[in-house]
Structure 1
Amino acid sequence: MNKISRQRDIIDRRGLVAKLTEMADWSGITSDNRGDVLALFKQALASGNKEIRQRFEHHAVRGAKVIKLQSFLIDQLIRVLYDLTVEHVYPVANPTTGEQISIVATGGYGRGELAPYSDIDLMFLLAYKRTPRTEQVIEYMLYMLWDLGLTVGHATRSISEAIRLSRDDLTIRTSLLEARWLWGDETLFREFKKRYNADISAANGADFVDAKLAERDARHDRLGDTRYVLEPNVKEGKGGLRDLQTLYWIAKYLYRVESVAELVEQDVLTKRDARRFAKAENFLWTVRCHLHNIAGRPEERLAFNVQGDLAGRMAYADRPAARGVERFMKHYYLIARDVGDLTRILCAVLEDDQKKRRFRLPRFSFRKYDIDGFRLDGSRLTITGDDDFKNNPVKLLELFAAAQRNDLDIHPRALRRVSQSLRLIDGELRDSAVANRVFMDILTSKKDPETALKRLNEAGVFGRFVPDFGRVVAQMQYDMYHVYTVDEHTIRAIGYLSRIERGLLKDDHPVASSVIGEVQSRNVLYMAVLLHDIAKGRGGDHCELGADVAARLCPRFGMNEWESETVAWLVRHHLAMSNTAFKREIEDPKTISDFVATVQSPERLRLLLILTVVDIRAVGPSVWNGWKAALLRELYYRAQETMAGGAPDKRRAERIEHAKADLAHALKSWSDEDIAEQLSMGYADYWLGYDHYAHERHAEMIK
C-alpha cells in the first residue's frame, strides 16, 4: 500500500487498543459492556472518515488516494477488532491448527480500494472445517462490523473449499485474484496463495480472458452500449471503473503482476499507456468518491441533478463558451474513451504475445491475406507494417473505408498504431483531395456508415481530420431532452438516415422513405446531417454559426457551389420544420405560407423533412412518437400542396381519397362490402393523420 501521511490523524490504533485493553483489564469484555466497546469503534470510524473527507474536499488528496485512506482505516479497525475478539472475548491459551483464522480482504477491498460507502469483502480462511470457537470469533466480528454501519460481504472457507469454488465460479476466482492478507494467521494465507497461483498456472488463461470480456460485454448491453449517455454509471458503465478493473484482472491473471507499473516492465503497456491508465483511474475514483459523499450512501450513477454540484467540487469553472458542468462532463466522456483505447491496446498486446507463445485465445485466427492494401488477419483487417501510416497518411482513413467496404472488423493492433499516428493528420492531409474523397465515401456509403464513423471517432481520427467535429466530441447537451453527446447524436442520426435510405424504416417513416429517392444529391443530405449541430458549444445561435462552418467545409469535401449553399441552408434552418410543426397551428394558412416562404423549393422541403426526422430520432430512444410523426407529415403535405398550387380544400380531399385507395388496394383479399364498410368508418383527420401502414394495421385489428 502507498505511504500514508499522518496516519494517527486518521486512526490512532495504539490509543484505541489502550482504551480497549483498559476496559478489558477492568471488567473484561462481555455482553454487558459491548455497547461501550462498540462506541469506541464508532468514534474511531467516524473520526477517521471525517479526516479523510476533509483531506479530500480541501483538495489535499484526490480520489486514487482517498480509496487507499479508506482501506487503511478499515484495515486498522478490523485488526484491532480481531485481536480484541481472540484475546479478550474468546481467548484460548494455545489454539489448535483447526482454530487458526486468516482474515483475507478480497475484491476491491483486496486491492486496497474503498470508496466512502463501498462494501467490504472479507474471507475468513480456515485450515480445515469450522470449529465452535472459529464460528464464535467470526460471528462476533461480523456483528460488530454490521453494528458499525458497514456493509460486509463475507465467506468462511477452508483453503480447499476456496480453490474448488474458484474453479467453478468466475466471480469467486476474480475476487480471490485480488486476495490480500489482512490479519490473523499469515502462514495459512501464504499456503492459500501458493495453491491458488498453482491452480491459475494450470488453468487455461484464454478461457478466463474470454469469460471476462463476455462478462464486460453483457454488462455494457445491460446498461446501454455507449459511453455517451446523459447519466453514466461511473462504476459499471462503458468506460467506467469496472472496465479498467477488467483490464487489470486480465493482465494480472496472465502476467502475474501486482501493479500497472509491472505491465510497463513486461512491455505490455508503454509508459504513456500507464500514465493514461493512472489518469483515468484517478479521475473516475474522484468522481465516485464525490458521488458517495453527496448521496451519503453507495451511489454509482452520475445523475443529472448532481452533475453541477460535482463540477463545482472538482473546480470546473464556467467559461464564455461553456458552463463548468459541460466542461466536467466532456472531460468525463473523454476519460471514458481513453478507457476504451486502453482496452484495445491490451487486446492487441495479448494477441501478439500469444502468437509468440503459441498460446491460443478464443476466436483468433492467424491466416493472412492482402485486401485493399491491408492485411486480413483472421477475420479482421490490419496493417501490413508499422510504417504504413507514416509512408502514406491517407491510409489512416483508407483503413476504415476498407473495413466498411468488406464488412470487416479492425484488428486492435492496427487501432493502436492509428492512435500512435494521429499527429500525421495535419493541414496537408486535410486539404488532400484523395483523403477527402475517402472520407466522403465513408460518410455516404450504403454499407453502414454509422459503424464506420463510430470507429473513426473512437480512434480519434474523425476529430483530427475534421477539427470542427473534434470540438463537439464528448460535448454534452446539458438538458433532459438530449440523451447523447453531440458527436454520438450526430453519428446516430447518420445511422438513421442510412437505414431510411435502405428502406429499413418504411413502417416508421413512410414519407421520408418514399421521398429520399427523389433528392438530387445524397452528398448534400449526408453532409447536412453531419454538420447540423457542428457549432454547438460555441456560444450564440448554433444554427447560424453552423451554417458558416458548413459554407467553409463543404468545398473542401469536393462539393460544388449549389451543394455547399444547400447544406449551409439546411444547417441554418434545420429546426424550422420541427418548430413550425410542434409550436404553431398547422391549420392556419399563415403558418403554411410562412413555412413555404422559408423553404422555397420542393427539393429543400424533401431534404428538410428527412433531416428533421433523423435529428429527432437520434435525440433518444423515447423522443419520437406518433404525434410528432403526424404533425411533420401533415406539414410536409400542406407545404408541398401550397408549392404545387391549387385550392387547399380540393388538395385535402384528394389526399383523403388517395389514402382510401391505398387502403383498399392493401385489403384486396377482403370482400367489396367489407372494404366499403372499413372506408366509411374514418373521419377526415384520421385519413390524413396516419400513414397507410397504420391504416392497414387498424383495419386488421377491427376485423
Structure 2
Amino acid sequence: MTQTRVPRQRAIIDRRALDAAIAGHVEGKGAKARPEILETLRDALAAGRAELSQRLLDKPSAGHEITAGHAFLVDQLVRVIHDHVTSHVYPAANRSSSERIAILAVGGYGRAEMAPKSDVDIAFLHPSRRTAWCEQVTEAMLYFLWDLGLKVGQSSRTPSDMVKMAQEDLTIRTALLEGRFVWGDRPLYDEARARFWAEVVTGTERQFVSEKLAERDERHERTGGSRYVVEPNVKEGKGGLRDLQTLYWIGKYIHPARNAAELVDAGLLTQPEYHSFRRAERFLLAVRCHLHELTGRAEDRLTFDFQKQVAERMRFADRRGKSAVERFMQFYFLQAKRVGSLTGVFLSQLDQQFAKKRARTGLLAGFSAKPRQFKGYTVFGGKIAAPSETWFKKDPVRLIEIFQLAEAEGLEIDPRTMRQADRDSSLIHDDVREDPRANALFLDLLCGKNDPENGLRWMNEAGVFGKFVPDFGRVNAQMQFNMYHHYTVDEHTIRAIGFLSKIEKGELADDHPRATRQIHKVKSRRVAYVAALLHDIAKGRGGDHSILGADVAEDLCPRFGLDEDETEIVAWLVRQHLLMSATAFKRDLTDPKTIEDFVGEVQSLERLRQLAILTAVDIRAVGPGTWNSWKGQLLGELYDASHERLRLGHMRHHREHRVAARKQAVREDMGAKATIMDAFGDLFGDAYWVAEPEDVIARNLVQYSVAREIDEDLSIHCEFDEDRGATLVTVIAADHPGLFYRIAGGIHLAGGNIIDARIHTTRNGWAVDNFLVQDPVGRSFAEPDQLARIKKSIADAIANRGELVPRLAQRPLPRARAKAFDVRPRVLFDNDASGRFTVIEVNARDRSALLNRLGRALFESQLIVHSAHITAYGERAADIFYVTDLTGSKVVDDARKEAIRAALLEAASDERQAELEPA
C-alpha cells in the first residue's frame, strides 16, 4: 500500500544485463532463439526468488521488503519481455495511434505486495478494439509468462471496456483501484486512469463502501466468524490482510489516497494508528511469505502443521510455560486484534465524514436529532461516547464505567471512544484496580443481565480488560497449541460467559435443561460468572492451570467484592473445573464407587450445581460441535446420581434393589414382549442389569431372543439413537478370547469411532456387547449404507476374513493434521476408582486403529475388558478400560502392571503405527 523501496535491486535482478543477454541470443539465432531466451529468463526468475528467500531467512519479519521485492522481480521480467517482443518478435517501425499497449499491475501485484507464490495479475490496455499487432504482442508476452511457470490473471481491454466493466463489477473496480503502471505507453495509462476516477469512482463512494463492507462480512463468516480461530487464514480471515486492504481500498476510493500513509492526512487514522497499521501489515505479510516458502504454493491458511515451522523461521523461542509456537501465535492474534481495532475507528471516522457531507432536504431540512446526556456521557444513535478528550484522564474509573453502562443500557461503544479508551488504558494502575467503585462496576458488567459477552469483548478490544485484570491480560490472544480448542484463551473465556448468560436467560434450554434450571437455584449467581471468568486464567504459566488458577481466584475474588464463602467456592470451582467432565467421560457411571468418589470431592449441592453449570459452558465454548447430546447425557447421568446421593446422604437403593427395580421397569417398557424377560432375563448377571439403561436392555433382550429363535451364531444390530447422538451397535456372538478387539477393528474399518463400549457375557456363554459409535469428528453415523458397512465389517473381522491390522494401519488419521503434534503415550493404573475392576487409562495420539491395538494388547496380556470409555480431545485420545484378570480379580502385582504398561505403550506408539503402515 505504501510503496516500499527495495534495497540492492540488482542482486535480485539486473534488467540491463538481462536485456543484453537476450539481445545476444537474438543476434546469434534470430527467431530461433526463443528456447535460449526462455532459459535465460527462467534462470533470472529462479535467482531472484532464491535471493528473496535468503533475505526472508535473514530478516524473517520484513514483510514489506520481501513482498515488494517479488513485485519488483516480476516488474523487471515483464519489462524485459515487453521490450524483447516489441523489438525482436513483432517490431513495427511506423506504428499507428491504435498500435499502443500499456501494461498495468492490478490486485496484489498492483499494490507491490506479492508473496513468493502469488498470482501475477496484469491488465493490457490498448486504445481501441484489438489491432493485430496488439493481439500478437499480448499473446507473445503471455506465453513467455506462462512458460516461466507464473500463474497469470490477465485481461486485455480498451479504456472504454475497462470503465464499463468496472461500473458493473465490484471485483474489477477494486482491482483497478490499485492499478499501477508497469511499462509501455504511459499516456494511454494516464487516460484510462483519469476516466476511471471520473466515470467510475465519482458519485459511487457510498455504494462502494457499503458493498465492500458487505463483502467483508460475508468473507468473515466464511472463514470462521472470529479473528481468534486457532488455524487462521492470514489473507482472508477476520483480522487478516484482506481487512487491512479493505480499509485502504475504502480510504483510497473516498479520498483518493495514493498510499496508506495518506489516510492520516485524510483524517481516517492518527499517526500512531498508521504506524500500528504498518506493523500489523508487515508481520502478516511476512507470515504469508513464510507459508508460501514452506508449502511451495499459494497457501494462506496457517494450519497446525505449519505453525511450528513458521514460528521457528521467525525466530520465536520457548519460554517458561509457553512454547515457541504458542508465543508466535499469541503475537499473531495480537496483530489480528489490532486490525479489528483499526477497522472500528476507521469506519467511525468515515461515517462522521459522510454525515458532515449529508444535506437534508424537504420538511426535515434544518432539523437534526439531538444527542442526549446519560450520567455525563453522550448517547446518540444507539452509541455511548465520552464527552471530551480528557474524560478518562480526569477519572480513570470511567474506563470501567463506560463498558458497564453500555452493557446495562444495551448500547454500543462509539468507535472514537474505543480509540480514546485504548489510548488511555495506560492510566489504569493499582489505585484503579483496588478502587471499590471500579471493581463493583466490573462485577456488574461481568454479571450483566443484558449482554455481558459483548461488553467484555469491547473492553478486551480496547485493552482495558487486560489492564484492569492483569492476570487476564496474560492470556490475552494466547493460543493453546492443540486441535481441541478452537479459540484463544481470552476468546474462549468470553464465549463461556456469553453461553452462561444465554443459559440464565433460558435461550439454551433444549441443550442444557439442567443448567437452565439450576442457574436459578444457586445461592450466588456472581460465583457462576466469576468462576467462568477465572477457570482458565492461569494457562501458560508452566504448571497445573487449575491449581494455579485457584490461587489467582483467592486473590482476585475479594478485590471484586465477593465475600469469604463466595471466594471459597470460586477457588474450588477453578481448581476442580475439569472434575465433572473427566468423571463423566472417563469413568463407568454405573459403578457405585465412581459416584461415591465424585460426591466425596463435591460435598455439597451448591458445589454440584455450580460445577455442572461451569462444565457445560466450558465445553460449549471450546468450539462448534464440541458439545453434543452424548456428552449432555453422560453429564446428566452423573449429575442426577450425585444429586440423589447428596440429597439423601446415601444411594436410594442398594445393588439388589436397583437390579429388581431395573427389571421391573424393563418389563413394563416391553409391554406385550415382556414374556421375553421370563425366558431369558435370568441369563444376564446383576452387573449387566446395573450397567445398561432400560431402553438398551429391552433392545438387547429382543435381539437375543430372535437370534436364539433362528439359531443365529452371530447377530449384529445397528440403530441410530437420537437421544444419545450416536449409533448403538450390539453384537451377540459365542464368547471367545479377542472378540472385543476384533469388533472394535471392524467398526473402525467401516469408518466408525467408538465412544463407549460395554462388554457382557451371559450365564450360558454368549457375549452381548454394546458399542456407541459416531463418525471420527463426533457427528451422527446413521445413514443406511453406513450401518450396512458396519455390520459387514464386524462380521468380516470376527470371521478373520482379510488381514485386520494392515488394513487398519492404512486408514487415515481421524484428523488429518494430528501428526503436527507431539503426543507422548501414557498409561495410568487406578485400583481405587472401582470396587471390582482395575481402571486403566491410555492417553495417545488419536488414530483409527488405536482402540483395536489397545484391545489386542489387553487380550494378549490375559485381561478381560468389562467396559471401555473413549474420549477424544482433538488430536489426543483418552481410552479407559475397566478390566480384571482371568480369575475376575484386580491387577495388583507391580511386575504384572509394568508388563501390561509396556504392551500398551508399544501398541499406542507412533513407531508401532509406522511399522504397520505400507511403504
What TM-score does the superposition give when structure 1 sets the normalisation length? 0.91
- Secondary structure of the residue aligned to 2:187 is helix
Shift of 1:338: 0.6
Structure 2 counterpart of 1:20: 22
Distance 1:442 1:649, change over 3 A: farther
Distance 1:275 1:427, change over 3 A: same
Greater RCO between the two (CA within 8 Å, min separation 6)?
Answer: 1
Q: Which letter maps to 2:117? A: Y
Structure 1 counterpart of 2:633: 630
Q: Which letter maps to 1:161? A: D
Q: Which has the higher helix share?
A: 1
Structure 2 counterpart of 1:105: 105
Q: Bigger shift: 384-393 or 529-538? A: 384-393
Question: What pairs with 1:216-235 in structure 2 (closer than 5 Å)?
Answer: 216-235=216-235
Structure 2 counterpart of 1:302: 302
Shift of 1:46: 0.5
CA distance in 2, matches of 1:680, 1:165: 79
Question: What pairs with 1:308-457 in structure 2 (closer than 5 Å)?
Answer: 308-358=308-358, 367-457=370-460
Q: Contact 2:4–2:64 (CA<8 Å) still a contact in 1?
A: no
**1:53-106 deviation per Cα after TM superposition (whole angstroms, max 9, x unaligned):** 111112287111001110111000000101111111111111111111101111
**1:11-58 deviation per Cα after TM superposition (whole angstroms, max 9, x unaligned):** 1212211121122223322xx443222111111101111111111112
Q: Contact 2:477–2:489 (CA<8 Å) still a contact in 1?
A: yes
Q: Contact 2:456–2:465 (CA<8 Å) still a contact in 1?
A: yes
Structure 2 counterpart of 1:591: 594
CA distance in 1, matches of 2:370, 2:167: 33
Q: Contact 2:233–2:300 (CA<8 Å) still a contact in 1?
A: yes
Distance 1:585 1:367, change over 3 A: same
Q: Contact 2:630–2:723 (CA<8 Å) still a contact in 1?
A: no
Shift of 1:534: 0.4
**1:630-682 deviation per Cα after TM superposition (whole angstroms, max 9, x unaligned):** 2211111221222222324589689989999xxxxxxxxxxxx9997899999
Q: Which letter maps to 2:487? A: Y
Shift of 1:530: 0.7
Identify the match of residue 462 of structure 1 among 454, 461, 465. Answer: 465
Identify the match of residue 685 of structure 1 among 674, 693, 696. Answer: 693
Q: Bigger shift: 69-78 or 443-452? A: 443-452
Q: Contact 1:106–1:121 (CA<8 Å) still a contact in 2?
A: yes
Say whether residues 1:529 and 2:532 are aligned partners: yes
Distance 1:475 1:635, change over 3 A: same
Structure 1 counterpart of 2:846: none
Identify the match of residue 653 of structure 2 among 639, 643, 647. Answer: 647
- Secondary structure of the residue aligned to 2:520 is helix
Q: Which letter maps to 1:237? A: G
Structure 1 counterpart of 2:555: 552
**1:182-203 deviation per Cα after TM superposition (whole angstroms, max 9, x unaligned):** 1111110011111122235622
Shift of 1:4: 2.8
Q: Contact 2:26–2:33 (CA<8 Å) still a contact in 1?
A: no
Q: Bigger shift: 186-195 or 13-22? A: 13-22
CA distance in 1, matches of 2:380, 2:27: 73
CA distance in 1, matches of 2:341, 2:510: 38
**1:380-430 deviation per Cα after TM superposition (whole angstroms, max 9, x unaligned):** 222222222223323222222222222222221121111121122221221
Structure 1 counterpart of 2:584: 581
Structure 1 counterpart of 2:248: 248
Distance 1:232 1:651, change over 3 A: farther
Q: Which has the higher strand share?
A: 2
Q: Which letter maps to 1:3? A: R
Shift of 1:260: 2.4
**1:587-630 deviation per Cα after TM superposition (whole angstroms, max 9, x unaligned):** 22222111111111111111111111111111111222222222
Distance 1:81 1:135, change over 3 A: same
CA distance in 2, matches of 1:680, 1:394: 74
- Secondary structure of the residue aligned to 2:238 is coil
Structure 2 counterpart of 1:93: 93
Q: Contact 1:437–1:557 (CA<8 Å) still a contact in 2?
A: yes
CA distance in 1, matches of 2:480, 2:307: 13
Question: What pairs with 1:280-299 in structure 2 (closer than 5 Å)?
Answer: 280-299=280-299
CA distance in 2, matches of 1:574, 1:588: 22
- Secondary structure of the residue aligned to 1:84 is helix
Q: Which letter maps to 1:21? A: A
Q: Which letter maps to 1:443? A: L
Q: Contact 1:367–1:376 (CA<8 Å) still a contact in 2?
A: no
CA distance in 1, matches of 2:493, 2:532: 7
Q: Bigger shift: 407-416 or 368-377? A: 368-377
Structure 2 counterpart of 1:670: none
Distance 1:276 1:688, change over 3 A: farther
Q: Contact 2:52–2:70 (CA<8 Å) still a contact in 1?
A: yes
Say whether residues 1:124 and 2:127 are aligned partners: no
CA RMSD of aligned residues (A): 2.8
Q: Contact 1:247–1:346 (CA<8 Å) still a contact in 2?
A: yes
Structure 2 counterpart of 1:667: none
Q: Bigger shift: 169-178 or 558-567? A: 169-178
CA distance in 2, matches of 1:681, 1:454: 59
CA distance in 2, matches of 1:215, 1:545: 44
Q: Contact 2:166–2:200 (CA<8 Å) still a contact in 1?
A: no
Q: Bigger shift: 500-509 or 485-494? A: 500-509
- Secondary structure of the residue aligned to 1:370 is strand
Say whether residues 1:257 and 2:293 are aligned partners: no
CA distance in 2, matches of 1:654, 1:602: 28
Say whether residues 1:40 and 2:53 are aligned partners: no
Q: Which letter maps to 1:389? A: F
Q: Contact 1:401–1:438 (CA<8 Å) still a contact in 2?
A: yes
Distance 1:380 1:569, change over 3 A: same
- Secondary structure of the residue aligned to 1:320 is coil
Identify the match of residue 7 of structure 2 among 5, 8, 14. Answer: 5
Distance 1:693 1:650, change over 3 A: farther
Q: Contact 1:229–1:485 (CA<8 Å) still a contact in 2?
A: yes
Q: Contact 1:85–1:137 (CA<8 Å) still a contact in 2?
A: yes
Distance 1:656 1:194, change over 3 A: farther
Shift of 1:167: 1.4
- Secondary structure of the residue aligned to 1:193 is helix
Shift of 1:355: 3.9
Q: Contact 1:655–1:688 (CA<8 Å) still a contact in 2?
A: no
Distance 1:257 1:7, change over 3 A: same
Task: Work out the number of aligned pairs and report it.
Answer: 678
CA distance in 1, matches of 2:656, 2:357: 79
Q: Contact 2:61–2:314 (CA<8 Å) still a contact in 1?
A: no
Question: What pairs with 1:60-75 in structure 2 (closer than 5 Å)?
Answer: 62-75=62-75
Distance 1:329 1:677, change over 3 A: farther
CA distance in 1, matches of 2:96, 2:664: 93
CA distance in 2, matches of 1:462, 1:224: 24
Q: Contact 2:163–2:200 (CA<8 Å) still a contact in 1?
A: no
Percent of paired sites with the same residue: 50
Bigger radius of gyration among the two: 2
Shift of 1:356: 3.9
Q: Bigger shift: 675-684 or 384-393? A: 675-684
Structure 2 counterpart of 1:210: 210
Q: Which letter maps to 2:12? A: I
